[in-house]
Chain A
Amino acid sequence: MKTMLTNLARTIGSNLQYSFIYRVIQEISRTDSYTLRQKVQKKLGSEEAMTPIAVFESIREYYITRGINDESIAEQLLKIPKWIGYRPVFGNSGYAGDEVFIAAKNSALATLWLAAIPNVTVSRTALPGEYREQDVETLVSKIIHSPTTRREISLLLNIEFERRGMNPSDFAIEGILDGFEANSEISNNRRPILFSLFIMISTCLELDLDQILILDEKNLARQTASFIYAKQTMEFIRSTIQGSDKKTPFDWPIVGSRKICNHIFSYLDTLRDFATDAHACKTFETVFQDQSMKMTEIDFIMLLLDMICDHYEGIMESKKGRGKQEDLQNFIKFIRGERGRIAQEVIGSDERGVILYNQLQELKRRAKAGHKPYVSPEKKYRDSLNALELRVKMRRSGKTDGKELVKDVSPVFDAITEIINKNKDILREDTDQFTEALCFETCFRILEYLDLGHLIMDLPWVCRFIAEEAVKGYTMMGIYDVMSEEHRTERIVAAFMGGITYLVLQSNK
């Protein structure tokens, strides 16, 4: 038992040593209250604005957003004490003494330490199947259990840090609630939950708070460990596909090998195990007729195919401007269009890796031979909408990059244009109205995924405003057939795409 933890400490030490978060941690522990005071004053503007509560909150926010790259994760981390039922002790007036600075510093430090845990506890050389042997569960249970066990862990880690000659900055997580007080006695009993929440949220997986609040300590440790394992396994699969310097198994025109595909499937099974264990995790759920349920094996295989597509899209992006990548482009379209079919074929066989490899080979051959993928527009629409939903979930919508959003959304709207064009003969005079209705519904679904359903009322006029400005733009480009009959559908669809892009981007600000 002891050696297990010592090994873990070694892993943590070696992973942490050169990480960004550790640099921020060091920076915080080096900063003294005087420098900090000056920094805060600069940020808040004046001496008067420096009330204890403002100082406390701005320091916490400053360090946590600095240490955590993902804004939405940082935001959630800041809110955890409130969720669990704690509030800052400091008042809204008076002088912010040193105790405020120290409390804020301690609390920020502890938050960053806990946030680092998911990324550093699993050894880079271990395979997903071996993760459980590393016994992160014990580490977590010691972290959440009591001050005594936490001290035990601190001691162990500090010895390790010292041995590595890392600048002494103590692993101190006891101060997580410095400067906070409990709203009621119940909150105090929830301390273990508080500690695990910090770790769980830092895994970037979505979670169901209600399910977590009712867990007992033993299950809590198990859940938290599963979250870490699941996250690491996802990373592992991604980096396997990505490859390293020497081995790039999926570097176009290579589409993997039997061996690597088999390996990936074993990792995928492990991921499924972890995902089943982490039942408070919402990332691995699909919504079907408003009911969320666990992802099935098919869903996981489709997820894998998505990751592979993402990888190839990255390659295509990096090769942009160096000749046409038509075969690669078609290859990606083939996979995206036939995800469901491939998953079905794979699942029914004993040699899943081999089948997947053969399928990829086959698609490559078709793409190379100049086959154009034919996917019916309706299917494309359905698939691209599902893919979009999945991506939105994976990315957690924190801060959306405009270009990336457009890339995700445009297949959906392209499919709409195709559907309309295909059915123009039947729709006839209803074409425009049908297009608008379909776009409207689609936008509503997208907004709903992002919890932005209330923006739907503004959608029509925002879209039209964009259409108006776009007309001016086209005219300035020297295009004079902007308003011709034949481009109406495209323009309606484009207006909605612009509108939804604007609304989603703005709502994140």
Chain B
Amino acid sequence: MYVPEERVLRLVEIQESVLPEEEWIIGVSDLGYFKGVGFSMPLAFGEDPFDEEDLLMVEGDDKHFQLINKGDKILHPVERTEIDDDPLLEYATNMELEVISSSDSIERDGVHPDILDEYDLVVSMEQDLSKGNLYAFLPGLFYCSSHHASVDAILVEVTQRDIFGMTLPSFRPEDVRSFDVSKGIVVDEEGKTKTVEMSTDTLGKFTIDISSEIAESAMEIAGEVTSMGEVTGTQEIEVALALADRIPVQDLKEAYVSGAILAGKLMTLMHDIETKGLRLRNRIYVRNERFPNGKIISVNYGILHSIIELCSRPGIDCPQEVDLGMELRRLSFTRLVGAGKEVDVEEAILDLFRLLQQEFGSNATKDQILRLLFSGGNQ
């Protein structure tokens, strides 16, 4: 994987299967932020690695996103809330009353299990969560094919299963690739390859005529074939041989970004950005044990809400999946760009979004996006 030295936005593609029709995710991200994909370990409950000041401080030279400044008056009332202010735990207070009232009834009804008090509740939830889950994390604007929706970040829990002595990981770094190229490659009428600037016109033009050539020769050999069973594998080999013949490995990436399938994905992504604008989607893609096929989860960014509603607290929140929210809040990642420090999911997403706005402005056209994504590659 290409990992840039500085902060730079690049096209990032995630696909686990080699079959082109399978689920894919494509988006814009900055792989320099975590120097690759971010990996986390959950924090122990109750530990607070985030210096309050640090969390609320926004590095500040950009105009679009200057929500909070250090020292702003509204900030000070936003204390990190105590645990019993958590909406989830609100009813616990009521339960306490119930406990009291129910203790009266012990004599009447015989002994029955005590209703958990607040502390027990927290402990039990903690136990639930303390399986030591490791997440891979990529903040950025991504489009997910199977859900037809764009999200603010990708979070995949890293687990392993062993079957027949093979280890099947839920996430492989090799499946994430960024494209550090500034040019594309197309094939002209004479069958020669040439490099071109990436633009909406040249996108998807690498349809290598190799295919039709091969198809013809393969048809000659195989005769009339109509079912896949008779010819599986032949095309892949022919394509590989033809590619090996014409395109050196260092240029293959350029051919790949000019390929039709990537063009389709890229257009979908750019269309999404163009129509919906460049703003937070308030959704993230999560894949873990509970959602093995991946799910799009709506989220709230506490830090943004804390300005409007004084009572909420910083940190990511999932209104529909409360305990997932708790799980995600506990994740911490080491930011490696600039002066390295620990960041949480929310901070990384907002950091990256800020960079996106800075680079793209709020309403970028497709060609502008393309130019930015394919500028100053390593060529």
Contacts and interface: CB of A to CB of B under 8 A. Distances in A.
B240 interface: yes
Interface stretch (B244-252, B319-327, B335-343): B244-252
B20 interface: yes
B240 A468 contact: no
Contacts of A461: 13, 15, 177, 256
Given A473-B238, A498-B236, A464 B166 contact: no
Contact of A470 (B161, B167, B236, B255): B236
A501 B241 CA distance: 7
Interface string A446-459: 00000000011111
A402 interface: yes
Contacts of A483: 21
Contacts of B215: 473-474, 476-477
Contacts of A456: 174
A403 B237 CA distance: 9
B19 interface: yes
B188 interface: no
B74 interface: no
Given A463-B18, A476-B215, A503 B237 contact: no
Contacts of B243: 466, 469, 502
Contacts of A438: 166
A465 B163 contact: no
B239 A492 contact: no
Contacts of B237: 406, 494, 497-498, 501
Given A465-B252, A492-B17, A482 B241 contact: no
B175 A460 contact: yes
B225 interface: yes
Contact of A478 (B172, B226, B232, B248): B226
B102 interface: no
Contact of A469 (B173, B239, B244, B249): B239
Contacts of B235: 469-471, 473-474, 477, 494
Contacts of A209: none
Contacts of A502: 240, 243-244, 249, 252
Nearest to A429: B292
Interface string B227-271: 111011101111111011100110010011001110000000000
Interface in B199-228: 207-208, 210-212, 214-215, 218-219, 222, 224-228
Contact of B18 (A427, A436, A505): A436
Contacts of A469: 208, 210-211, 235, 239, 243, 259
A495 B236 contact: yes
A406 B241 CA distance: 9
Contacts of A501: 237, 240-241, 244
Nearest to A472: B211
Nearest to A488: B19
B327 to A, nearest CB: 24
Contact of B19 (A437, A455, A492, A499): A492
A457 B240 contact: no
A482 B166 contact: no
A437 B167 contact: yes
Contacts of A507: 249
B226 A479 contact: yes
B174 A457 contact: yes
A433 B236 CA distance: 20
Interface residues of A, number: 64
B121 interface: no
Contact of B214 (A423, A427, A473, A503): A473
A24 B256 CA distance: 44
B164 interface: yes
Contact residues of A: prevailing secondary structure: helix
A496 B31 CA distance: 27
A438 to B, nearest CB: 6
A484 B163 CA distance: 25
Contacts of B261: 468
B17 A476 contact: no
B231 A494 contact: no
A466 B226 contact: no
A492 B231 CA distance: 14
A335 to B, nearest CB: 24
Given A488-B19, A495-B236, A433 B207 contact: no
B22 to A, nearest CB: 8
A276 to B, nearest CB: 36
Interface string A183-198: 0000000000000000
Contacts of A493: 233
Contacts of B222: 477
B249 A458 contact: yes
Nearest to B161: A430
A462 interface: yes
Contact of B233 (A403, A430, A437, A494): A494
A476 B18 CA distance: 20
A471 B232 CA distance: 10
B239 A498 contact: yes
Contacts of A468: 20, 259-261
A219 B369 CA distance: 68
A473 B211 contact: yes
Nearest to A458: B249
Given A402-B244, A490-B232, A434 B166 contact: yes
B337 to A, nearest CB: 22
Contacts of A432: 17, 19
A506 B249 contact: yes
Most chain A CB within 10 A, of B207, B208, B210, B233, is at: B233
B249 A441 contact: no
A459 B174 CA distance: 8
A491 B244 CA distance: 20
B228 A481 contact: yes
Contacts of A486: 229
A509 interface: yes
B123 interface: no
A468 B168 CA distance: 24
A495 B175 CA distance: 15
A12 B21 CA distance: 63
A460 B19 CA distance: 10
Most chain A CB within 10 A, of B211, B222, B229, B255, is at: B211
17 contacts: A403-B241, A410-B233, A427-B163, A436-B16, A460-B175, A461-B15, A469-B259, A473-B215, A473-B239, A477-B222, A478-B226, A486-B229, A496-B18, A499-B18, A506-B244, A506-B248, A506-B249
Given A436-B17, A467-B20, A476-B211, 16 more contacts: A406-B237, A410-B233, A437-B167, A441-B166, A460-B177, A464-B19, A466-B243, A470-B236, A470-B239, A474-B228, A479-B228, A481-B228, A490-B232, A497-B237, A499-B240, A501-B244
Q: 8 closest pairs, A vs B, by CB? A: A498-B236, A498-B240, A505-B244, A470-B235, A476-B215, A494-B233, A473-B235, A494-B236
Interface of B: 1, 13, 15-21, 161, 163-164, 166-168, 172-175, 177, 207-208, 210-212, 214-215, 218-219, 222, 224-229, 231-233, 235-241, 243-245, 248-249, 252, 255-256, 259-261
Interface of A: 402-403, 406, 410, 413, 423, 427, 430, 432-434, 436-438, 441, 455-474, 476-484, 486-488, 490-499, 501-503, 505-507, 509
